[in-house]
Amino acid sequence: MSKLKTKEEACAKFQDGQVIMFGGFLAVGTPESLVDGLVEKGVKNLTIIGNDTSYTDRGIGRLIASRQIKKAIVSHIGTNKETGRQMTAGELDVELVPQGTLAERIRAAGAGLGGFLTPTGVGTIVEEGKQKLTVNGREYLLELPLHADIAILKAWKADKSGNLVYRRATRNFNPLMALAADFVIAEAEEIVEVGELDPDDVMTPGTLVDMIVKA
């Protein structure tokens, strides 16, 4: 059965207060049409999970500028001055997570793990409020999984069953997030019939994708 839907049908899934994961690195590999839909719908009090908050006028940064985000769980915010301003003013809760730890927390959710141990952040502000364990004489932080209600992904190509192919660096966090959310919506630049994609090229299998929209 085709998973191809209109942007309006996909955006009907967005509700106030949701946790939304988004693919992308400085908006490269971010599903811009779906972000447009979030802005247009005006959903608010969202928690977002992704690498960064992009720029004020691109990608997920548009949701920051329109004040639809209550919390951002990201690895950095340095390219978006509005994120920093809102955080400093106490208008936005920002949880900064080392980039590798962020990726692994998302992967842990997709793998059904209860968490993982990492030495990254030991002895820094990162360890505040976290459980520490000593293994073979070395200290580690227990990092917990990150799970979302919805993941929004960006693919280069998709077929109507939801099999996805990413192009070069646009892959970034997208495949990890496909495993870590209750509902997955993929935006694709090109959509083909089932059977037209070489199985060896598929990077995210269609079993993980619930809806596809045309970019």
Rounded-to-integer distance, Cα 72 and Cα 51, Å: 10
Does the structure show a pLDDT above 90 at 70? yes
Model confidence pLDDT, tens digit, residues 120-168 = 999 999 999 999 999 999 999 999 999 999 999 999 999 999 999 999 9
Question: Does residue 92 carry a pLDDT above 80?
Answer: yes
Q: How many CB atoms lie within 10 A of CB 147?
A: 18
Domain coordinates of the chain in residue numbers?
A: 7-111+146-214
Banded pLDDT at 183 (limits 50, 70, 90): very high
**pLDDT average, residue stretch 50-59:** 96
d(C-alpha 126, C-alpha 67), whole Å: 26
pLDDT at res. 111: 97
Return the percentage of the chain with pLDDT > 70, whole number. 100
- Mean pLDDT value across residues 173-185: 98
Average pLDDT over every residue of 63-70: 97
For residue 22, the model assigns a pLDDT of: 97
- For a pLDDT cut of 90, what percent of the chain falls above it? 99
Q: What is the pLDDT of residue 82?
A: 97
pLDDT of residue 192: 96
Model confidence pLDDT, tens digit, residues 2-19? 899 999 999 999 999 999
Per the prediction, the chain carries an average pLDDT of: 97
User: Averaged over 163-175, what is the pLDDT?
Assistant: 97
Per-residue pLDDT at 93 exceeds 90: yes
Cα distance from N-terminal residue to C-terminal residue, the chain: 20
Residues 180/204, Cβ–Cβ less than 8 Å: no
1, pLDDT greater than 80: no
- pLDDT of amino acid 49: 98
Q: What is the pLDDT of residue 2?
A: 80
7-111+146-214: CATH, from 3.40.1080.10, 3.30.499.10, 3.30.470.10, 3.50.50.60: 3.40.1080.10
At 213, list the tokens: 């929209």
Q: List residues bridging with 187 in a β-sheet.
A: 154, 213
Q: Does residue 24 carry a pLDDT above 80?
A: yes
Task: List Cβ<8 Å contacts ≥24 apart for 198-204.
Answer: 201/165, 202/163, 202/164, 202/165, 203/164, 203/165, 203/166, 203/171, 203/175, 204/153, 204/155, 204/162, 204/163, 204/164, 204/166, 204/174, 204/175, 204/178
